[in-house]
A and B are shown apart, each in its own frame.
Chain A
Amino acid sequence: MTKPNPEAEKAARRRNGSADILGPNSEIGRKLKQYYDDLVSEEIPDRFSQLLRQLEQTEPAQKKG
């Protein structure tokens, strides 16, 4: 889960071109990914799947306001 996806990273770099300033040779770039990946790999609180379940049960036509 926390493992970076090399393919996606490669693709991102291709698209970005000059994003190399944040590439693997950049300490800022590495820290940025570490910071973000830490957040991404956090467990998702139940409230979100509950919310989606609630939304699903609400008929679109009956929405208030």
Chain B
Amino acid sequence: MAVSPEFKQDLLGTIPNLRAFAVSLTQNADKADDLVQETLVKAWDKHESFQMGTNLKAWLFTILRNEFYSQMRKRGREVQDSDGIMTERMAVHPSQHGLLDLKDFRWALEQLPQDQREAIILIGASGFSYEEAAEICGCAVGTIKSRVSRARNRLQEILKISGEADYGPDAISAQVMGSSAA
């Protein structure tokens, strides 16, 4: 069966979101675009397995994510090559004054473990429900919830934002107890 024009149109429409997710995963614009390209080819090849009327964006995100992890596994140690970059990044500390800069935020996001970063992106930015994110990541809803929550706490810690929603005991005890509270 040939790919329908609607399917093609929908694919095109999802590209901006796929690229944003790919950048979040790879932390690299070139790699992200290669990943999106692979995703589009895969999606095109198996378009018949997509059920019309279901969530195309979620379907594509799943393909992209699987592709990303299978590439990571194939490359194996090559990924460790980023260690140097990581150390370099660590040396650049975000400014601790004034309003939170987007550059600082990007830096903080890069410090998160992969699984937490993708969870917080899917939920907090891509607009998926916990159920959808769980399906995309092939894990339980509770796992996504806990990853999102850990990611948020870690970001707050890195960016030195005290508990926003709660000005109460939590923020204070966190200060008193220091890192042992985390």
| In contact, B156 and A36 (Cβ under 8 angstroms) | no
| In contact, B121 and A31 (Cβ under 8 angstroms) | no
Q: Given A22-B148, A27-B100 in contact, is the A36-B126 Cβ separation under 8 Å?
A: yes
Q: Given A33-B124, A36-B24, A60-B2 in contact, is the A26-B165 Cβ separation under 8 Å?
A: yes
CB nearest neighbor in B for A12: B127
| In contact, B20 and A39 (Cβ under 8 angstroms) | yes
Contact for A48 among B40, B106, B126, B127, CB less than 8 A: B40
Question: Is B123 close to A, CB under 8 A?
Answer: yes
Range of interface residues on B (Cβ < 8 Å): 35 or more
CB distance from B27 to the nearest CB of A (A): 12
Q: Given A28-B164, A47-B33 in contact, is the A8-B127 Cβ separation under 8 Å?
A: yes
CB nearest neighbor in A for B2: A60
**CB-defined A-B contacts under 8 Å, sample of 19:** A9-B127, A17-B130, A19-B123, A21-B149, A25-B164, A26-B164, A27-B100, A28-B124, A28-B159, A29-B124, A33-B124, A34-B102, A39-B16, A39-B19, A47-B33, A48-B12, A48-B37, A51-B41, A55-B44
